[in-house]
Amino acid sequence: MGRRLAGVFQGRPRLQVGTLLAGPVGWLVVGYLGSLAVLLVAAFWSVDPLSGEVVRGFGLENFETLLDEPVYRTIVWRTVLIAALVTVTDAVLAFPIAFYMAKVASRRGKAILVVAVLLPLWSSYLVKVLAWRTMLSNDGIINWALEPFGLHGPGYGNVAVWLVMSYLWLPYMVLPIYAGLERIPNSLISASEDLGAGPFMTFRRVILPLAFPAVVAGSIFTFALTLGDYITPRLVSNNQFIGNVIFNNIVNNLPLASALALVPIVVMVAYLLVARKLGAFEHI
Amino acid sequence: MRRKDAHSARTAWLVVAGLVVFMLALAGCGSSSDSDSSGEELQKLGKGEGQVDLISWAGYVEPEWSKPFEQKTGCKVNNKVAGTSDEMVQLMQSGEYDGVSASGNASARLVAADAVDPVNVSLVPNYETIFSDLKDQPYNTFDGTPYGIPHGRGANLLMWNSDDVKPAPDSWDVILDPKIASKYSGKISAYDDPIYIADAAVYLKTHQPDLGIENPYELNEEQFNAAVDLLKEQRANVGEYWSEAAKQISAFANGDATVGTTWQYQYFELKGEGDPVAASPASQGFLPKEGATGWSDTWMLSSSAKHPNCMYMWMDWIVEPKVNAEVAEFFGEAPAQSLACDETADKEFCTKYHADNPAFWERVYYWETPLADCGNGNDDCKDYNDWVQAWTAIKG
């Protein structure tokens, strides 16, 4: 049996490859792209007001609702803005850490730092957010620490969401930048110095351009993860993000939820196009 | 190189075309729903089918009382916990379940969607002794036909931190009147659900009688807009909207909330921890003067139940006095079964939760599903979808 099967495949490289890839590609097309396609189609459906059942038919009313109701614009802007802020914050925080890890630390120090960056990823997402919720609460440790200086913490709200998201996604920024900096040969930095460039010039003209694709790769993680999250806003603020509105509508008004789900997709595509224009994918 | 580009472009188009065909096929099928909604009631209880598939609120189906049920009837219990009424409606429409513990904001939708069948209460012996003010209600009886067995009920109380809120409030105005509520700005705790609009309607019913609100779940455009505007004003003073009981408990315990709407469960939890919380006292009938919203849950029978006999046995089991007492104490709500009050571990339980105090429940407006058809023949009420959209706009 096995022998005969082997015979079928012998000398037919296309069949071999095709059979090997059938599983993963089938999963990608049906399970992944297929469900995405269903999502896109559902955005044009509507809901019967009485029974609450989905009516399959073509209509643009969901998109009209999204454009006409000012609250949806507010929510989209809030989400995109926080996502951008989180991305910038993480990039600024991650670069020095990654640089130290890649170029300065000893082998041992490097290993310790990699573990330290990865460690938070091993604990549950929910535990981390709830820990922040406790820290940011009125009687929490942040207010306690600030009290002697007559200050008060940010409490729950947009600032809290920004803080927590920046904390949550930092490892996703550190690791790509670390990998990117690791690939830059030290000889390039020495050469730059030999040719008379100061540390700042070396950073600006040599390191940053070479590490830029890595920063963009990290920013795709932080931006997309913030764009899609709905649990953190729910636990540390009263503000709705795109994900919250999708969650609230998913049962009653699946078509509207689908239309809303297209917003992050469009934003991400635009973001990737800009990143490509900036040359982020040239070295990949 | 060019040729290769053209080749891969064609492949990409083929993939897109394939997806479109796949989508169309998907959109086309599935719409052939079976129209077998005869609504024929079971007349005689038969033998159990060996299992029963339930959808329930967390805490309604626990091994403490589902294991004895399995031993007694031979019906294996498969339980699916749902987090919201919306989720219950969606799961029931799949037709994969035998029954659900539906709140009033789901039951009418389930009936309208033909997802549930009438229940022959004569096959449920324990129905007899259920509190009479829970029978024949608009959220469990439709066109005079009972559609389920009452499980338990609770009210949405006004709770405050007695150290911070003085004098003790006797009205919802402490969180809904912008002038008074601004005193506690940033410390007000409100329920995070579209159904909370009804709380504003209950308040307006007393404070703006010229709006003519009768039922807080049947609101015409003018009444609805007044309620929504009130909540938009409240938004500025809200510290936190809560949906999980644990979230509100932590907010009150950590000083992030000092006054707000709550369930009896959170109130007794916080009190048990020694936190300085208070709720309306007995002299005020335990509720603010306007009354309050509340919920009353009903076990309903799926119209496509594969194990109807086991489901009937379950509906009788869950309101069996001892079991109903266990469930009510576990969850923190008033039992539906009048005889359950003799079976609770805490002998004060029914008094605490006002289970046997009909005067208390007369002032409670149980959750209902807002429908466009609100009984005046005009179809001019705001339906639940409007409530959901308005809720998004209120929270901003």
Per DSSP, the residues of A254-271 read HHHHHHHHHHHHHHHHHH
- Give the pLDDT of residue B37: 42
pTM of the model: 0.81
Query: Which of A46, A251, A253, A256 to mutate to probe the B interface, most B CBs <10 Å?
Result: A251
Q: For A90-129, what is each residue's pLDDT tens digit?
A: 999 999 999 999 999 999 999 999 999 999 898 999 999 9
Cross-chain CB nearest to B89 (options A33, A52, A75): A52
The nearest CA of chain A is from the CA of B256 a distance in Å of 5
Residue found under tokens 């469009």: A266
A127 near B CB under 8 A? no
pLDDT reading at A83 higher than 60: yes
Q: For A239-274, what is each residue's pLDDT tens digit?
A: 999 999 998 888 778 899 999 999 999 999 999 998
**H or E stretch at B310:** helix B308-318
What six digits make up the tokens of A178? 């670390």
Asked if residue A107 lies in contact with residue A113, where contact means CB atoms within 8 angstroms, the answer is no
- Give the pLDDT of residue B32: 38
What gap in Å lies between CA B342 and CA B348, rounded to an integer?
10
**H or E stretch at B262:** strand B259-263
**CB–CB of A52 and B384 under 8 A?**
yes
**What b-and-e string marks burial along A46-85, b requiring 16 or more CB atoms within 10 Å of the CB?**
bbebbbbbbebeeeeebeebbeeeebbeebbebbbebbbb
Sign of the CA dihedral running B323, B325, B327, B330: negative
User: Of B305, B361, B1, B391, whose CA–CA distance to B150 is shortest?
Assistant: B361
User: Which residues in chain B have their CB less than 8 angstroms from residue A240's CB?
Assistant: 392, 395-396
**CB–CB of A50 and B371 under 8 A?**
yes
The nearest CA of chain B is from the CA of A138 a distance in Å of 5
The nearest CA of chain A is from the CA of B111 a distance in Å of 9
Residues of B with CB under 8 A from a CB of A: 15, 18-20, 22-23, 26-27, 31, 84, 86-87, 89-90, 93, 109, 112-113, 186, 238-241, 243, 247, 250-251, 254-256, 371-373, 383-385, 388-389, 391-393, 395-396
pLDDT reading at A87 higher than 90: yes
Domain spans, chain A:
65-277
- B356 CB neighbour count, 10 Å cutoff: 15
**CB–CB of A33 and B186 under 8 A?**
no
A156 near B CB under 8 A? yes
User: Which residues in chain A have their CB less than 8 angstroms from residue B393's CB?
Assistant: 69, 71
- A1 CB neighbour count, 10 Å cutoff: 5
Per DSSP, the residues of B108-173 read HHHHHTT-EE---GGG-GGGGGB-GGGSS-TTTEETTEE--EEEEEEEEEEEEETTTS-SPP-STH
A139 near B CB under 8 A? yes
Cross-chain CB nearest to B254 (options A40, A75, A138): A138
- B104 CB neighbour count, 10 Å cutoff: 25
**CB–CB of A41 and B23 under 8 A?**
yes
pLDDT reading at A155 higher than 60: yes
pLDDT reading at A1 higher than 70: no
A10 near B CB under 8 A? no
What gap in Å lies between CA B242 and CA A32, rounded to an integer?
34
**CB–CB of A38 and B90 under 8 A?**
no
- Portion 171-230 of A in contact with B at CB < 8 A: none
- pLDDT tens, chain B, 396 aa long: 445 555 666 666 666 566 556 555 555 444 434 434 445 677 888 888 999 999 999 889 999 999 999 999 999 999 998 877 888 988 998 889 999 999 988 898 899 888 999 999 999 999 999 999 999 998 999 989 999 999 999 999 999 999 999 899 999 999 999 999 999 999 999 999 899 999 999 999 999 999 999 999 999 999 999 999 999 999 999 999 998 888 899 999 998 999 999 988 899 889 989 999 999 888 888 899 999 999 999 999 999 999 999 999 999 999 999 999 999 998 889 999 999 999 999 898 999 889 988 889 999 999 988 888 877 777 889 988 889 889 999 998
The nearest CA of chain A is from the CA of B150 a distance in Å of 23
Per DSSP, the residues of A203-257 read IIIIIHHHHHHHHHHHHHHHHHHHHH--HHHHHH-S---HHHHHHHHTTT-HHHH
Asked if residue B78 lies in contact with residue B52, where contact means CB atoms within 8 angstroms, the answer is yes
**H or E stretch at B55:** strand B51-56
Reported as a pLDDT band with limits 50, 70 and 90, residue A38 is confident
What CATH number was assigned to the domain covering residues A65-277?
Answer: 1.10.3720.10
What gap in Å lies between CA B363 and CA A256, rounded to an integer?
36
Asked if residue B69 lies in contact with residue B327, where contact means CB atoms within 8 angstroms, the answer is no
- Give the pLDDT of residue B233: 95
Q: For A185-226, what is each residue's pLDDT tens digit?
A: 999 999 999 999 989 999 999 999 899 989 999 999 999 999
- Give the pLDDT of residue A29: 87
Sign of the CA dihedral running A283, B3, B4, B7: positive
Give the percent of chain A with pLDDT over 70. Answer: 97
A39 near B CB under 8 A? no
ipTM of the complex: 0.78
**H or E stretch at A78:** helix A70-99
CA distance to A124, A251, A277, B40, B361, per residue, from A272 (Å): 29, 31, 9, 58, 58
